[in-house]
């Protein structure tokens, strides 16, 4: 089964100060977005029917949606409603688009991660209730920074008291380290009970990319951009050239060398798998 990181749009209805992604300029049909201080162009987002046909060759699959804000993608509900029943999906969303939430199917949803952004508390909690009523039990991720630390602690306790799981996600950003705030770091880790409140794994107190000789990315794991471009992995978004793009994409199974740093936990797991297999095969 394929695991596909799917970014239907880079558009978002929020402007979070700690976010590394931003729409910088709109063009006639598309837009230019910034990702970690690099700029990329999306000429046109594929419509829902184009995506349904595009994805048919990878069935069955797990579609992990992120962005941007996936709920800002027009007709996301139609796209998901037309997937085969053995194709599952998961999403990371801020859950503020109530109209779309009500239209989305629940029967093939594996997981919903709701990102909390320190405003619209009542609307946020009401939307979580709607999801739970549909049969989807969301987990809430709270990005904690030194500046919002006190407020974040209150929100973690509040959301936990409402019966929702909480992912504590310390700010992970280029040129930033928690080294000066280790008391706050330690307190956040101490709040996690490993069950309902979880401290996100694979996050260190400073940005630390890793590199591996071989990688499975581009095989049963890859990333789809809003305009249909395919990347070997999510970390390739950080490139300003075509290194990561796969033309006329067909999944491959051979271990492939990669000279790029792995910036995200999802990619690190893939590359670690490649290293393990390499060792087993004595490549």
Tell me the percentage of the chain whose pLDDT exceeds 70.
Answer: 88
163 found inside a domain: no
pLDDT band at 277 (very low <50, low <70, confident <90, very high): very low
Phi, psi dihedral angles at 67 (to 5 degrees): -175, -140
pLDDT in the model for residue 230: 85
273 found inside a domain: yes
The Cα 144–Cα 95 span in angstroms is 19
Q: Which residue has the higher pLDDT, 66 or 237?
A: 66
Cβ contacts of residue 247 below 8 Å, gap of 6+?
none
120 found inside a domain: no
The model's pLDDT over 99-115, given as tens digits with 9 standing for 90+, comes to 999 999 999 999 999 99
Domain, as residue range, for 258: 214-281
272 found inside a domain: yes
- pLDDT exceeds 60 at position 279: no
DSSP code for 192 = -
- Tell me if 62 sits within 8 A of 1, measured CB to CB: yes
User: What is the chain's mean pLDDT, rounded?
Assistant: 85
pLDDT in the model for residue 278: 47
105 found inside a domain: no
Which whole number is the average pLDDT over 189-211?
A: 81
Q: Which residue has the higher pLDDT, 36 or 47?
A: 47
Stretch among 143-147, 203-207, 212-216 having the lowest mean pLDDT: 203-207
pLDDT in the model for residue 281: 40
3-state secondary structure of 22: strand
Domains: count for the chain: 1
228 found inside a domain: yes
Integer angstrom CA distances of residue 152 from 137, 138, 144, 203, 236: 21, 18, 6, 18, 31
pLDDT in the model for residue 237: 79
Which whole number is the average pLDDT over 59-64?
A: 94
Tell me the percentage of the chain whose pLDDT exceeds 90.
Answer: 48
Stretch among 34-48, 65-79, 153-167 having the lowest mean pLDDT: 34-48
237 found inside a domain: yes
145 found inside a domain: no
The model's pLDDT over 119-138, given as tens digits with 9 standing for 90+, comes to 788 899 999 999 999 999 99
């Amino acid at each position: 089964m394929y695991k596909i990181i799917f970014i239907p749009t880079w558009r978002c209805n929020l402007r979070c100060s700690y976010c590394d992604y931003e729409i910088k300029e709109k063009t006639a049909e598309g837009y230019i977005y910034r990702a970690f201080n690099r700029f990329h162009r999306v000429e046109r987002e594929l419509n829902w029917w184009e995506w349904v046909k595009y994805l048919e060759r990878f069935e069955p699959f797990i579609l992990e949606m992120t962005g941007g804000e996936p709920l800002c993608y027009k007709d996301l509900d139609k796209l998901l409603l037309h997937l085969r029943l053995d194709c599952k999906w998961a999403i990371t969303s801020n859950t503020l688009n109530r109209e779309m939430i009500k239209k989305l199917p629940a029967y093939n949803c594996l997981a919903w991660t709701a990102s909390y952004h320190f405003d619209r508390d009542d609307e946020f909690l009401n939307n979580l209730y709607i999801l739970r009523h549909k049969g989807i039990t969301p987990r809430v991720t709270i990005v904690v920074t030194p500046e919002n630390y006190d407020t974040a602690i209150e929100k973690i306790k509040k959301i936990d008291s409402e019966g929702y799981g909480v992912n504590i996600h310390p700010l992970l950003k280029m040129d930033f380290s928690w080294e000066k705030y280790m008391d706050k770091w330690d307190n956040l880790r101490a709040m996690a009970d490993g069950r309902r409140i979880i401290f996100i794994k694979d996050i260190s107190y400073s940005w630390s990319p890793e590199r591996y000789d071989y990688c499975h990315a581009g095989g049963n794991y890859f990333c789809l951009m809003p305009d249909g471009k395919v990347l070997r992995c999510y970390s390739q978004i950080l490139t300003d050239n075509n290194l990561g793009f796969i033309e006329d994409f067909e999944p491959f199974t051979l271990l492939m060398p990669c000279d790029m740093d792995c910036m995200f936990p999802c990619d690190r797991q893939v590359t670690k798998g490649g290293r393990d297999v390499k060792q087993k095969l004595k490549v």
